[in-house]
Each structure stands twice: as structure tokens, then as C-alpha cells.
Amino acid sequence: MSPESTGQNEHYIRVARRRFRAWRGGRPFWAGLFTILGGVPIAYFPYANMHLGNMTLTMSTTTGAGALIIGVLLITLGLTMWFHHIVRVFAGVAAILLALISLPIANIGGFVIGFLLALIGGALSISWAPGEPKSDEAPLAEHPYEERPEGELHTAAVPQQQSAGSAPAADADADADAGRHRAG
């Protein structure tokens, strides 16, 4: 093993971070995260109790079951965006529709927090497109001249220019000057 080899000496956190970055790059990660984070307050607030000293404030409504269903569906759609990114457009449209439905049903969409997060997550999911894989060969324009094969340097030919008047006198003048300008 040479000292330059980093394969076995690399720290496991760095390896895990690199693998997570590669996994995250091939799917609509942020769309799924925003959708999951939007589903949590929508599902949580109707069942939450807030204690202010001896007083308990309950935010439950008659539509608590509807809010729970919407929140769980948004969390499921966020996970679907992560693990089945092929159906990202369907999941994005469904997340936007569920976010809109949560406004009248689930305490104004989880007090607007869940509504906005789910709406942003759905929009990101619809707009996400997988990246193009990079090819191993670089385009010819990026190669320096020294690295190109010998025949490639001479493939582009300069077109021959025709004079405006193709009279034999114009050709004789060009031959007499040997192609140089008369001014210099």
C-alpha cells in the first residue's frame, strides 16, 4: 500500500457522506424533504395540546381525521419522491392538491406552515429533471492541439475566395502583386 492510496484509510463518515451525496443527486431530494416537512404540521396540529400555566389550549377540530389523512399522505408522497423518483410528477401534483385541500380542512393548512412547505415540495418535484450522465470522452474543442491525432488538425479547409469581378485582368493584377496590398 502506498501512502497516496486513500481507499482503506478514508474515514467512514467521509465515505457515508459521499454515498449520501451520490444518492441525493439522482432524485428530487429537496422536493421530498419539503413535502415531508409540510405533512408533519398538518397532521400534528389538530392533535396537539399547548399548556399555558394551568390552562390547556387544544387545537382539535371536527376534521382531525381528515387532517391526519392529509398529513400522512403528504409524508408518503415525500418518501415516494425519494425512493420512486419515476413518479415524481404524479407525486408533485398530488402534493399540491393535498396542500390546497388542507387549507379548509386542517387548521388553515397547519397554520400555513404545512401548506407552504407542501406546495413548495410539490412544485420542486414537478420541475425536477434527472441530470444527463457525463460522457468519458471530452469534446474535440477541449483537447489541446498536441493531444489530437495528426489527421484532425488538417480537416478544416479554408474556402477559396472568388474575386468580385472574375475577369482575367483581376487575376493578372493579383499575380503581379504576389497577393500583397498596394498600400504597403
pLDDT value for 28: 92
Report the helix count and the strand count for the chain, using DSSP H and E. Answer: 7, 2
Average pLDDT over residues 45-50: 79
Is this structure's pTM higher than 0.75? no
**Structure confidence by residue, pLDDT tens digits, 72-126:** 999 999 999 999 989 999 999 999 999 999 988 888 888 899 999 999 999 999 9
pLDDT value for 52: 82
CA dist list (Å): 96 to 12, 81, 106, 170: 39, 13, 15, 74
